[in-house]
Amino acid sequence: MKPRVLIVEDDNTFRSLLRKILSAEGLDVHEVASAEEGIAKLRRESFDLVLSDLKLPGMNGLDLFRASRTDVALTPFILMTAFGTIEEAVDAMKEGVLDFITKPLKDPNALRTVVRKALEGSRREREYLSLKETESAGLPPEELIFVGNAMADVRRLIGEGAPTQATVLIQGESGTGKELVARTVHLLSPRRNAGFVAVNCAAIPENLLESELFGHERGAFTGAIQARLGKFELAQGGTIFLDEIGELPLALQAKLLRVIQERRFERVGGNKEITADVRIVAATNRSLFQEVQEKRFREDLFYRINVFPVILPPLRDRTDAIATLVNHFIGRFVRMTGKPISGIESAALKMLLQYPWPGNIRELQNAIERAVILGRGVLTCNDFQENFHTHETEIDKGSLLEEAERETILQTLKSCGNNRRIAADKLGVSKRTLQYRLKRYGLVGEE
């Protein structure tokens, strides 16, 4: 669609000249002869730009600009002014007028440049707002969510499982995109027209989590001055996403199990049973099977939520997706910041491909955002060094800690004559935990 421009000019000859120049630029040009006509037209129609004379009969151009600010969509303004009123035009820019040009128009290219710049800025702002809306709704392109060969099976599983009512358990490391996949499940399900309500079980204090999930009645506890709906009620007819479900306390696990089994719950402090017409999609970065073995997660709840398991691979196993993700994030942050970044040099991309990305896609996104903010023209290796230096330190620390733990286990076993029960007691862990650590460090066969 052509950008729409409104010309407000009482001089018929000059207005005709402006229309001819801008129409030749492929713009959809409309014109009126007074500010009063201009404000009436702005209230009826939307425009991408207003080009108005400052001096007009009746209301002047600045009055028109001020009147237009009552609209939610703030249309950008360019004022036209004679040499004698340039100071007034500069004052108008302090109020928010985008730019001004002088009359008479000696160079049509000056007009074209100012208008082109204004429309480009307006377009970038619309793209930014659209991008934010899309992100807040969790609606990036499906091709981007499932990019890379390692995600082919995940995409197939989602396609088959999403249209059903089955409870889905999404497993994967932090930053692998579990919530985006959960939203995709919702959008491909019969519940897509109802709500998608996300709850991060790790981010809410334990004493507030029950109320957050199931709501509470007035006076249920100190500070409960009014009744409040919980997430399960807000998600009625739709999907509730329980992120980091492995962080749920055991007492709440029992209540969640009842909701899944009976599809009913009660608000905190209430006795009215409420039907839970929701689909549950859960996610975790932990091994829930291991949590069950350690008695930190209920076995019966695990089997209830593990009806349709989906495992997301880490980014280090999706190296064929990195270039696509990099280009997407560069484009996103260029639109958001307006920085003139044209791409990434091959050496920098090669470095990104070789990096293990312990923080997965979230870490890659943050690295690209920082690089775009600091970069000039084309992103280089230097634009990423700070990110990698930081993580190298963290990785080294983690490796040192693991090596220290391995040596401690070996020394303790040796001092106990390789008796694992006694060694576990000395280490202050269960025998099952010790066996898990032995397996993790490749010590299973060492007796």
Share of the chain above pLDDT 90, in %: 44
The predicted-structure confidence for 178-220, as pLDDT tens digits, reads as follows 999 999 999 899 988 778 889 999 888 888 899 999 988 887 7
pLDDT in tens, 151-172: 999 999 999 999 999 999 999 9
List 243's β-bridge partners, or say none.
200
What integer pLDDT is reported at residue 159 of this predicted model?
A: 92
- Pick the residue with more confidence: 328 or 409? 328
Q: Is 213 helix (H, G, I), strand (E, B) or coil?
A: helix
Task: Specify the 3-state DSSP secondary structure of 346.
Answer: helix
Query: β-pairing, 274-275 with 264-265?
Result: antiparallel
Whether the model pTM is above 0.75: no
DSSP letters of 82-136? EGGGHHHHHHHHHTT--EEEEES---HHHHHHHHHHHHHHHHHHHHHHHHHHHHH
Cβ neighbours of residue 365 under 8 Å, at least 6 residues apart? Answer: 325, 329
Q: Is the dihedral of CA 371, 374, 377, 380 positive or negative?
A: negative
pLDDT at 388 over 70: no
Contact predicate 315/176, CB 8 Å: yes
**Which structural domains are found in the chain, ordered by start?**
4-136 (3.40.50.2300), 142-311 (3.40.50.300), 315-379 (1.10.8.60), 392-440 (1.10.10)
Closest CA to 327 of 129, 134, 144: 144
**pLDDT-derived band at 129, boundaries 50, 70, 90:** very low
Strands 168-171 and 99-103: unpaired
